[in-house]
Structure 1
Amino acid sequence: MDYFIVVVATVAGLYFHGWLYVRMRRWMDRDLALSLAGTDPQKQAYMLQRLQQARVEKVKRKQLAGWLEREAAAYPG
């Protein structure tokens, strides 16, 4: 029974750590997109849409900053 408790606690801790890691990466990506948009609410919405598009296109993490910068420069407004 002791091993079961240790295994359950370890698995739960690893799952929580993974969930937190993914959540923090998403927050950082969102903050990057919003920082490139400045204070314009329409551009912020545009950049969040571009971030969603980057996720759909599976843009690599190392390329995301450059990709978002190009999208910000191409903002039509």
Structure 2
Amino acid sequence: MDYFIIAVTTVAGLYFHGWLYVRIRRWTDRDLALSFAGKDEQKREFMLQRLEAAKAQKVKRKELAAWLEREAAGYSAA
């Protein structure tokens, strides 16, 4: 019974750690995209859409900042 308790708590802890890691990565990616938008609400929405496009295109994490910066530079308030 002791081994079962240890196994369950270990698996639960590893799952929680993985979940937290993924959430923090999503938050930092979102904050990065929004940092290029400033206070402009339309540009914020545009940048969040571009972030989703980057995920769909499977832009590598190392290239994400430069990719988002290029997209932000191409933004035109219509």
Bucket of the pairwise TM-score, normalised by the shorter protein: over 0.9
Which residue in the other structure is 1:6 paired with?
6
State the identity %.
Answer: 73
CA distance, structure 1, for counterparts of residue 10 and residue 67 of structure 2: 38
TM-score with structure 2 length normalisation? 0.97
TM-score with structure 1 length normalisation? 0.98
1:19-53 Cα offsets, whole Å, 9 max, x none, are 00000000000001111001000000000000000
Paired letter, 2:22:
V
Report the secondary structure of 1:37's partner residue: coil
Report how many aligned residue pairs link the two structures: 77
CA RMSD of aligned residues (A): 0.5
Report the secondary structure of 1:43's partner residue: helix
Paired letter, 1:49:
Q
Which residue in the other structure is 2:45 paired with?
45
CA distance, structure 1, for counterparts of residue 17 and residue 54 of structure 2: 25
CA distance, structure 2, for counterparts of residue 58 and residue 23 of structure 1: 18
